[in-house]
Amino acid sequence: MIDTHTHLYSDEFSDDRHEMIERALHKGVSKFYLPAIDSTTHEKMLDLESQYPERMFAMMGLHPCSVQPESWENELKTVEKYLNERSFPAIGEIGIDLYWDKSTLDIQIKAFEKQIDWAIERDLPIVIHTRESFDEVFEVLERKKHPKLRGIFHCFSGNLEQAKHAVELGFLLGIGGVVTFKNGKIDQFLHEIPLDKIVLETDSPYLAPVPHRGKRNESSYLELVAGKLVDIYKVDFAEIDRITTENAESLFL
Ligand SMILES: [Zn+2]
């Protein structure tokens, strides 16, 4: 399995990071994609990546919650500098978050669009964070429509119509712990979305799947997400693993 979205460099894992990674490897998670947040964590992320060169893959980008009036332009310069220095498998996580702060919508859109331009120029996928912002995100994606624009709706938790719209725009759905929640809703329609549009993720340390809901999430719990997809798609675990792994491999070339 591939965990396409996991913040393993986060401080929540300071005490047992390596044991936690061992547990995930043991459960069959073979690769880990690390989404960037901002300049306060880029170094920690790149440092972890260098410790597990065949396993960890850092993305680069500015998270929408880190788009702040006083610093976003400098933060974007830092992202651009990294993108010019070395290769990354994706630009992320980027997008729009209207749950935490609606007042920054204007600059969130500007930062999102700039990073989409960089992704198209570099032929890279994007990893999108969308929270209470599907309409705004879709508007940007429609405006930026391009044959090279592709990626993942990370932690997808929208409705069927939004899922279909994302797929039509050339995106995959990142499915994590929410699919195991009683009130998560996506488990009720996901079977209508072909499995070749799905990738697995944990979003560790957030959004732990049932029965760990509310506690720290970790990549070994990816097994529980895949297990839920076995019920939804009525195929065996090996098939879920094979198809979602292929989907991730062909996106993150
Ligand atoms: Zn994330």
- What are the tens digits of pLDDT across the range 2-57? 999 999 999 999 999 999 999 999 999 999 999 999 999 999 999 999 999 999 99
Alpha helix segments (H runs only) across 27-86: 42-51, 72-85
pLDDT confidence band for 77 (50 / 70 / 90):
very high
**How far is the centre of ligand 1, averaged over its atoms, from the C-alpha of 178 (Å)?**
14
Distance of CA 149 from the midpoint of ligand 1 (Å): 20
Cα–Cα distance, 223 to 205 (Å, whole number): 15
**Distance from the CA of 171 to the center of ligand 1, in angstroms?**
17
Which pLDDT does position 135 carry in this prediction? Answer: 97
Distance, CA 5 to ligand 1 centroid (Å)?
A: 6
Peptide bond into 205 cis (omega under 30): yes
Distances (CA, A) of 130 to 43, 109, 123, 238: 25, 12, 22, 30
- Taken in order of first residue, the domains within the chain and their CATH numbers are 2-251 (3.20.20.140)
Instruction: State the distance from the centre of ligand 1 to the C-alpha of 203, rounded, in angstroms.
Output: 5
Q: What is the pLDDT of residues 80-118, one digit of tens each?
A: 999 999 999 999 999 999 998 999 999 999 999 999 999
User: Confidence class of residue 253 from pLDDT cuts 50, 70 and 90?
Assistant: confident
Tell me which residues have their CB within 5 A of the ion that is ligand 1.
Answer: 35
**Region 129-158 average pLDDT:** 97
Residue 42 Cα to ligand 1 midpoint, Å, equals: 13
CA of 40 from ligand 1 middle (Å) equals: 15
User: Which strand (E) or helix (H) includes residue 130?
Assistant: strand 126-131
